[in-house]
Amino acid sequence: MVKWTEEERRIIRGVWEKVDIDEIGEELWARALIVYPWIDRYFGSFGDIFTTTAILKNPKLAALGKVVLSALDTAVKNMDNFKAMYAPLSRQHYEKIKVDPDNFRLLAECITITIACKLRAELNPQVQATWQKFLSAVVEAMNSQYK
Amino acid sequence: MVKWSDFERAAIQDIFSKIDYDVVGSAALSRCLIVYPWTQRYFGSFGNLYNAAAITSNPKVAAHGKVIMAGLEKALKNMDDIKTTYKDLSVLHSEKLQVDPDNFNLLGDCLTIVVAGQLGAAFTPEVQGAFQKFLAVVVASLRKQYH
Protein backbone atom coordinates (compact mmCIF):
# COMPACT_ATOMS: atom_id res chain seq x y z
CA MET A 1 0.00 0.00 0.00
CA VAL A 2 0.97 3.54 -0.70
CA LYS A 3 2.35 5.61 2.17
CA TRP A 4 0.58 8.87 3.00
CA THR A 5 1.94 11.85 4.92
CA GLU A 6 -0.33 13.70 7.35
CA GLU A 7 -0.41 16.63 4.94
CA GLU A 8 -1.54 14.40 2.07
CA ARG A 9 -4.29 12.84 4.20
CA ARG A 10 -5.49 16.30 5.18
CA ILE A 11 -5.50 17.48 1.56
CA ILE A 12 -7.40 14.45 0.27
CA ARG A 13 -10.03 14.69 3.03
CA GLY A 14 -10.26 18.44 2.31
CA VAL A 15 -11.03 17.82 -1.37
CA TRP A 16 -13.46 14.99 -0.60
CA GLU A 17 -15.43 17.09 1.91
CA LYS A 18 -16.31 19.45 -0.89
CA VAL A 19 -17.53 16.74 -3.24
CA ASP A 20 -21.32 16.41 -3.37
CA ILE A 21 -21.70 12.78 -4.45
CA ASP A 22 -25.09 13.45 -6.10
CA GLU A 23 -23.93 16.50 -8.00
CA ILE A 24 -20.54 15.22 -9.14
CA GLY A 25 -21.87 11.70 -9.73
CA GLU A 26 -24.29 13.00 -12.34
CA GLU A 27 -21.59 14.67 -14.42
CA LEU A 28 -18.92 12.09 -14.18
CA TRP A 29 -20.04 9.49 -16.71
CA ALA A 30 -21.35 12.21 -19.02
CA ARG A 31 -17.83 13.57 -19.32
CA ALA A 32 -16.33 10.12 -19.82
CA LEU A 33 -18.81 9.09 -22.53
CA ILE A 34 -18.67 12.41 -24.38
CA VAL A 35 -14.90 12.82 -24.28
CA TYR A 36 -14.03 9.12 -24.74
CA PRO A 37 -16.97 7.80 -26.76
CA TRP A 38 -15.62 4.23 -27.15
CA ILE A 39 -16.54 3.71 -23.49
CA ASP A 40 -20.17 3.33 -24.59
CA ARG A 41 -19.39 -0.30 -25.44
CA TYR A 42 -19.79 -1.06 -21.72
CA PHE A 43 -23.20 0.54 -21.49
CA GLY A 44 -25.34 -1.61 -23.77
CA SER A 45 -28.10 -1.88 -21.17
CA PHE A 46 -28.23 1.82 -20.34
CA GLY A 47 -30.72 2.88 -22.99
CA ASP A 48 -30.13 6.00 -25.02
CA ILE A 49 -26.53 7.17 -24.72
CA PHE A 50 -26.07 8.08 -28.36
CA THR A 51 -26.30 11.85 -28.28
CA THR A 52 -24.88 14.43 -25.92
CA THR A 53 -28.41 15.41 -24.84
CA ALA A 54 -29.35 11.81 -24.09
CA ILE A 55 -26.13 11.20 -22.17
CA LEU A 56 -26.64 14.29 -20.00
CA LYS A 57 -30.17 13.20 -19.08
CA ASN A 58 -29.64 9.46 -18.63
CA PRO A 59 -30.67 8.46 -15.09
CA LYS A 60 -28.76 5.16 -15.16
CA LEU A 61 -25.52 7.05 -15.80
CA ALA A 62 -26.24 9.46 -12.95
CA ALA A 63 -26.93 6.49 -10.67
CA LEU A 64 -23.71 4.77 -11.72
CA GLY A 65 -21.81 7.99 -11.03
CA LYS A 66 -22.97 7.82 -7.42
CA VAL A 67 -21.93 4.15 -7.21
CA VAL A 68 -18.42 5.08 -8.35
CA LEU A 69 -18.13 7.96 -5.89
CA SER A 70 -19.43 5.80 -3.03
CA ALA A 71 -16.61 3.39 -3.78
CA LEU A 72 -14.19 6.33 -3.78
CA ASP A 73 -15.62 7.35 -0.40
CA THR A 74 -14.60 3.91 0.91
CA ALA A 75 -11.06 4.57 -0.30
CA VAL A 76 -10.93 8.02 1.34
CA LYS A 77 -12.09 6.50 4.64
CA ASN A 78 -9.62 3.59 4.44
CA MET A 79 -6.57 5.16 2.91
CA ASP A 80 -4.17 2.63 4.41
CA ASN A 81 -5.85 -0.54 3.24
CA PHE A 82 -8.31 0.11 0.46
CA LYS A 83 -6.28 -1.97 -1.98
CA ALA A 84 -7.44 -5.15 -0.22
CA MET A 85 -10.98 -3.80 0.04
CA TYR A 86 -11.05 -3.13 -3.72
CA ALA A 87 -10.03 -6.71 -4.66
CA PRO A 88 -13.62 -7.94 -5.23
CA LEU A 89 -14.39 -4.78 -7.25
CA SER A 90 -11.28 -5.32 -9.36
CA ARG A 91 -12.16 -8.96 -9.92
CA GLN A 92 -15.70 -7.99 -10.97
CA HIS A 93 -14.41 -5.48 -13.52
CA TYR A 94 -11.91 -8.02 -14.84
CA GLU A 95 -13.98 -11.21 -14.95
CA LYS A 96 -17.57 -10.07 -15.29
CA ILE A 97 -17.68 -6.60 -16.87
CA LYS A 98 -14.41 -7.12 -18.79
CA VAL A 99 -13.33 -3.48 -18.67
CA ASP A 100 -10.11 -2.50 -20.43
CA PRO A 101 -8.09 -1.20 -17.45
CA ASP A 102 -6.89 1.85 -19.44
CA ASN A 103 -10.39 3.18 -18.89
CA PHE A 104 -9.84 3.42 -15.13
CA ARG A 105 -7.24 6.08 -15.81
CA LEU A 106 -9.58 7.95 -18.15
CA LEU A 107 -12.41 7.93 -15.62
CA ALA A 108 -9.99 9.14 -12.93
CA GLU A 109 -9.06 12.02 -15.25
CA CYS A 110 -12.76 12.89 -15.65
CA ILE A 111 -13.20 12.80 -11.86
CA THR A 112 -10.33 15.27 -11.46
CA ILE A 113 -11.70 17.59 -14.14
CA THR A 114 -15.21 17.55 -12.64
CA ILE A 115 -13.70 18.42 -9.28
CA ALA A 116 -11.54 21.14 -10.89
CA CYS A 117 -14.69 22.77 -12.30
CA LYS A 118 -16.26 22.73 -8.85
CA LEU A 119 -13.30 23.66 -6.66
CA ARG A 120 -11.61 26.00 -9.18
CA ALA A 121 -8.69 27.87 -7.56
CA GLU A 122 -8.87 25.62 -4.51
CA LEU A 123 -7.54 22.78 -6.62
CA ASN A 124 -4.12 24.42 -6.60
CA PRO A 125 -1.02 22.61 -7.94
CA GLN A 126 -0.15 21.01 -4.59
CA VAL A 127 -3.71 19.83 -4.05
CA GLN A 128 -3.90 18.55 -7.62
CA ALA A 129 -0.66 16.60 -7.19
CA THR A 130 -1.87 14.97 -3.97
CA TRP A 131 -5.34 14.22 -5.34
CA GLN A 132 -3.83 12.63 -8.47
CA LYS A 133 -1.53 10.51 -6.29
CA PHE A 134 -4.62 9.26 -4.47
CA LEU A 135 -6.49 8.49 -7.71
CA SER A 136 -3.40 6.68 -9.07
CA ALA A 137 -3.52 4.46 -5.99
CA VAL A 138 -7.24 3.83 -6.61
CA VAL A 139 -6.56 2.98 -10.26
CA GLU A 140 -3.80 0.61 -9.15
CA ALA A 141 -6.21 -1.05 -6.72
CA MET A 142 -8.73 -1.46 -9.56
CA ASN A 143 -5.97 -3.07 -11.65
CA SER A 144 -4.87 -5.42 -8.85
CA GLN A 145 -6.87 -8.49 -9.86
CA TYR A 146 -6.13 -8.20 -13.58
CA LYS A 147 -3.69 -10.85 -14.70
CA MET B 1 -7.53 16.08 -42.22
CA VAL B 2 -9.23 16.78 -38.94
CA LYS B 3 -12.88 17.77 -39.27
CA TRP B 4 -14.30 20.28 -36.83
CA SER B 5 -18.02 20.67 -36.21
CA ASP B 6 -19.44 24.18 -35.87
CA PHE B 7 -19.96 23.49 -32.19
CA GLU B 8 -16.32 22.45 -31.74
CA ARG B 9 -14.95 25.53 -33.53
CA ALA B 10 -17.19 27.84 -31.54
CA ALA B 11 -16.45 26.11 -28.22
CA ILE B 12 -12.68 26.21 -28.73
CA GLN B 13 -12.67 29.86 -29.85
CA ASP B 14 -14.85 30.67 -26.88
CA ILE B 15 -12.50 28.99 -24.40
CA PHE B 16 -9.52 30.94 -25.71
CA SER B 17 -11.45 34.19 -25.60
CA LYS B 18 -12.29 33.62 -21.93
CA ILE B 19 -9.02 32.33 -20.46
CA ASP B 20 -6.30 34.62 -19.14
CA TYR B 21 -3.25 34.01 -21.36
CA ASP B 22 -0.89 35.47 -18.77
CA VAL B 23 -2.04 32.93 -16.21
CA VAL B 24 -3.07 29.75 -17.99
CA GLY B 25 0.17 28.76 -19.73
CA SER B 26 2.29 29.37 -16.66
CA ALA B 27 -0.20 27.63 -14.36
CA ALA B 28 -0.32 24.58 -16.62
CA LEU B 29 3.46 24.34 -16.91
CA SER B 30 3.87 24.78 -13.12
CA ARG B 31 1.36 22.01 -12.46
CA CYS B 32 3.12 19.74 -14.94
CA LEU B 33 6.46 20.29 -13.17
CA ILE B 34 4.85 19.69 -9.76
CA VAL B 35 2.53 16.78 -10.53
CA TYR B 36 4.92 14.99 -12.94
CA PRO B 37 8.32 15.92 -11.47
CA TRP B 38 10.36 14.04 -14.08
CA THR B 39 9.41 16.76 -16.57
CA GLN B 40 11.77 19.07 -14.67
CA ARG B 41 14.63 17.37 -16.50
CA TYR B 42 13.89 19.54 -19.54
CA PHE B 43 14.21 22.76 -17.57
CA GLY B 44 17.74 22.52 -16.17
CA SER B 45 18.45 26.16 -17.03
CA PHE B 46 15.36 27.48 -15.23
CA GLY B 47 16.96 27.80 -11.80
CA ASN B 48 15.06 26.94 -8.64
CA LEU B 49 12.43 24.22 -9.20
CA TYR B 50 12.95 22.47 -5.85
CA ASN B 51 9.42 22.70 -4.52
CA ALA B 52 5.92 23.78 -5.52
CA ALA B 53 6.37 27.30 -4.14
CA ALA B 54 9.62 27.79 -6.07
CA ILE B 55 8.06 26.48 -9.28
CA THR B 56 4.94 28.63 -9.10
CA SER B 57 6.99 31.77 -8.46
CA ASN B 58 9.76 31.01 -10.97
CA PRO B 59 9.85 33.83 -13.56
CA LYS B 60 11.32 31.58 -16.30
CA VAL B 61 8.40 29.17 -15.83
CA ALA B 62 5.99 32.11 -16.14
CA ALA B 63 7.73 33.36 -19.28
CA HIS B 64 7.74 29.92 -20.84
CA GLY B 65 4.05 29.57 -20.06
CA LYS B 66 3.42 32.53 -22.35
CA VAL B 67 5.55 30.92 -25.08
CA ILE B 68 3.32 27.84 -24.84
CA MET B 69 0.15 29.96 -25.10
CA ALA B 70 1.55 31.73 -28.18
CA GLY B 71 2.09 28.30 -29.71
CA LEU B 72 -1.48 27.27 -28.92
CA GLU B 73 -2.78 30.46 -30.41
CA LYS B 74 -1.06 29.59 -33.71
CA ALA B 75 -2.94 26.30 -33.68
CA LEU B 76 -6.17 28.12 -32.88
CA LYS B 77 -5.71 30.46 -35.85
CA ASN B 78 -4.91 27.54 -38.17
CA MET B 79 -7.31 24.91 -36.95
CA ASP B 80 -7.71 23.37 -40.36
CA ASP B 81 -4.02 22.61 -40.75
CA ILE B 82 -2.34 22.45 -37.36
CA LYS B 83 -0.08 19.70 -38.64
CA THR B 84 1.67 21.98 -41.16
CA THR B 85 1.64 24.96 -38.80
CA TYR B 86 3.50 22.90 -36.19
CA LYS B 87 6.05 21.25 -38.46
CA ASP B 88 9.04 23.31 -37.29
CA LEU B 89 7.91 23.17 -33.66
CA SER B 90 7.74 19.39 -33.91
CA VAL B 91 11.26 19.20 -35.37
CA LEU B 92 12.50 21.51 -32.59
CA HIS B 93 11.03 19.33 -29.82
CA SER B 94 12.30 16.14 -31.43
CA GLU B 95 15.79 17.06 -32.60
CA LYS B 96 16.91 19.94 -30.41
CA LEU B 97 14.96 19.68 -27.14
CA GLN B 98 14.65 15.88 -27.33
CA VAL B 99 11.39 15.82 -25.40
CA ASP B 100 9.75 12.44 -24.83
CA PRO B 101 6.48 13.01 -26.70
CA ASP B 102 4.46 11.30 -23.94
CA ASN B 103 5.04 14.49 -21.98
CA PHE B 104 2.89 16.47 -24.45
CA ASN B 105 -0.12 14.56 -23.10
CA LEU B 106 0.83 15.38 -19.52
CA LEU B 107 1.03 19.11 -20.25
CA GLY B 108 -2.26 18.80 -22.14
CA ASP B 109 -3.88 17.20 -19.07
CA CYS B 110 -2.63 20.02 -16.86
CA LEU B 111 -3.92 22.62 -19.33
CA THR B 112 -7.34 20.96 -19.24
CA ILE B 113 -7.41 21.09 -15.45
CA VAL B 114 -6.38 24.76 -15.38
CA VAL B 115 -9.02 25.67 -17.98
CA ALA B 116 -11.63 23.66 -16.04
CA GLY B 117 -10.72 25.61 -12.91
CA GLN B 118 -10.95 28.94 -14.74
CA LEU B 119 -14.26 28.23 -16.47
CA GLY B 120 -16.01 26.28 -13.70
CA ALA B 121 -19.48 25.11 -14.65
CA ALA B 122 -19.03 26.60 -18.13
CA PHE B 123 -16.55 23.78 -18.84
CA THR B 124 -19.39 21.40 -19.63
CA PRO B 125 -18.81 17.82 -20.81
CA GLU B 126 -19.29 18.86 -24.46
CA VAL B 127 -16.93 21.81 -24.13
CA GLN B 128 -14.41 19.49 -22.46
CA GLY B 129 -14.80 17.08 -25.39
CA ALA B 130 -14.09 19.83 -27.93
CA PHE B 131 -11.09 21.15 -25.98
CA GLN B 132 -9.56 17.69 -25.53
CA LYS B 133 -10.02 16.99 -29.24
CA PHE B 134 -8.16 20.25 -30.00
CA LEU B 135 -5.35 19.25 -27.63
CA ALA B 136 -5.21 15.76 -29.16
CA VAL B 137 -4.68 17.32 -32.60
CA VAL B 138 -2.03 19.66 -31.18
CA VAL B 139 -0.22 16.73 -29.55
CA ALA B 140 -0.43 14.61 -32.72
CA SER B 141 1.00 17.51 -34.72
CA LEU B 142 3.86 17.92 -32.25
CA ARG B 143 4.60 14.20 -32.53
CA LYS B 144 4.44 14.20 -36.31
CA GLN B 145 8.13 14.92 -37.05
CA TYR B 146 9.46 12.42 -34.53
CA HIS B 147 10.97 9.29 -36.05
Is A126 within 8 Å of chain B by CB?
yes
Given a cut of 90, whether residue A1 has pLDDT beyond it is: no
B97: number of Cβ within 10 Å: 9
Across the range A42-49, mean pLDDT stands at: 94
Domain, as residue range, for B78: 4-141
pTM of the entire predicted model = 0.90
Cβ-based contacts of B120 with chain A (< 8 Å):
117-118, 120
Cβ <8 Å between B52 and A129: yes
Cβ-based contacts of A31 with chain B (< 8 Å):
125, 128
Given a cut of 90, whether residue A2 has pLDDT beyond it is: no
Q: Where are the domains of chain A?
A: 6-143
Residue ranges of chain B with pLDDT lower than 70? none
Number of domains in chain B: 1
Q: Give me the CATH number covering residue B72.
A: 1.10.490.10
Cβ <8 Å between B132 and A118: no
Q: Give dist(CA B128, CA B12) in Å, integer.
A: 9
Q: Name the percent of chain A lying above pLDDT 70.
A: 100
Q: At what angle do helices A59-77 and A6-17 cross, to 10 degrees?
A: 150
| A128 Cβ contact list (under 8 Å, min separation 6) | A112, A116, B31, B34, B35, B113
CATH entry, A6-143, from 3.30.1380.10, 3.30.450.20, 1.10.490.10, 1.10.357.10 = 1.10.490.10
The angle subtended at Cα B50 by Cα B46 and Cα B54, nearest 5°, is 70
Cβ-based contacts of A129 with chain B (< 8 Å):
31, 34-35, 52
Given a cut of 90, whether residue A21 has pLDDT beyond it is: yes
Cβ <8 Å between B126 and A116: no
Contact A10, A131 (CB under 8 A): no
Q: Among candidates B72, B75, B35, B85, which has minimal Cα distance to B55?
A: B35
What ipTM score was computed for the predicted complex, to two decimals?
A: 0.85
Contact A120, B117 (CB under 8 A): yes
Q: B95: which DSSP letter?
A: I
Task: Work out the minimum CA distance from A89 to partner chain B, whole angstroms.
Answer: 27
Cβ <8 Å between A117 and B30: no
Mean pLDDT of the residues in chain B: 95
Q: What is the pLDDT of residue B75?
A: 97
